Amino acid sequence: MAKKQKPARNHHYVPKCLLRRFENADGKLWVYDLKKGEIHPCRPKAVGFSKDLYRVTGKHGHPDYDGLEKCIAANIDGPGDNAISTILQGGRRNEEWIVFLRFVAAQMARTPGFFERISDMSRPLFGESLKRLAKHHPLFRERVLARGVAKGQSSAEIEAVLDSIARGEWSAKPSNEATLKMALKQIETFQNELQRMKWQILQPEASGSDFILGDQPVLVIVPAGERVTLKHPKVNVVLPLNTRNIAVGRWIDGIPLIEVNRETMRRAQRYMFSSIHSDEMLAEARTLFGTGPKVRTIQIKDGERLTTIIEYR
């Protein structure tokens, strides 16, 4: 009897098919760890993943460790890899571009960095909802009290916690699985916007540096200090495809393209991937590390009314 195969739990948020395109002629991929300040060689299958990143709750409440990972590999990464190959060879059929832009949209939504962004943007709304429930809904308080007492907590302790929540002293955020589902729901929205843009394949100047890849591969670049959104009229959506080619989407022809490698460094969560080993590039990346766009929350109070504005810029 065949031994049951264990589920794959190292889930790639940067697909192996993309990482392979940044190997050098010797088959080496250099990984830049910006937190540790180290560079080391690695194979694509051993980087760009996080354990159980795409785990969801399956049938009967049991964890499904690799169903989503396999679905992404079969329906996004495989077809996307073929589309990239065709496009780089000069293919311009609409079918390849639709498949490719779905790959780009998925790559935007599937990274830990994007999950963190979704969580950060949801936190103020979840916290305000929790506060209002504790403050204005007696049934919510009754249910929390009943559950707490059933677990052996005293009524006074639970009431004190509920009062603290009602004063806004507690924060709340979505679960990992809820964040994952919210993020992946954005794929179709992103794809619809990307398909309306004008796309082209660009190469660096003859003397220009080879392109590098980050753990946030898709770069949504807008003028400095402005809100980062696909709807920005001067946006550049950039995905490095290999060391000498990038795909660029724009609304308007002629929008200046900000230096791509610098933006990759600014947006990296921790890792960059390159065909070369360069201490100088590591030093530059460490200087720019953490300077990319951030989630910003602004609360404006007008009498009894509180308005929360959440932006990514």
Q: State the DSSP string of 165-191.
A: HHTT-------HHHHHHHHHTHHHHHH
Count of Cβ atoms closer than 10 Å to residue 196 Cβ: 11
Question: What pLDDT score was predicted for residue 92?
Answer: 76
Element (H, E) at 310: strand 305-312
d(Cα 237, Cα 214) in Å, to the nearest integer?
14
Q: Using only C-alpha atoms, what is the Rg of the chain?
A: 23
CB 214 within 8 A of CB 159: no
Question: What pLDDT score was predicted for residue 42?
Answer: 96
Helices within the chain (DSSP H only): 16-19, 67-72, 78-88, 94-109, 112-136, 138-150, 155-166, 176-184, 186-196, 260-267, 279-288
pLDDT tens sequence for the chain (313 residues): 556 788 999 999 999 999 999 999 999 999 999 999 999 999 999 999 999 999 999 888 899 999 999 999 999 999 999 999 999 999 778 999 999 999 999 999 999 999 999 999 999 888 889 999 999 999 999 999 999 999 999 999 999 999 999 998 998 999 999 999 999 999 999 999 999 999 999 998 766 799 999 999 999 999 999 999 999 999 999 999 999 999 999 999 989 998 999 999 999 999 999 999 999 999 999 999 999 999 998 888 777 777 889 999 9
What three-state secondary structure class fits 245? strand
pTM for this model (two decimals): 0.91
d(Cα 259, Cα 275) in Å, to the nearest integer?
18
Count of Cβ atoms closer than 10 Å to residue 184 Cβ: 18
Task: Find all residues with CB under 8 Å of 233, minimum gap 6, and list them.
Answer: 251, 252
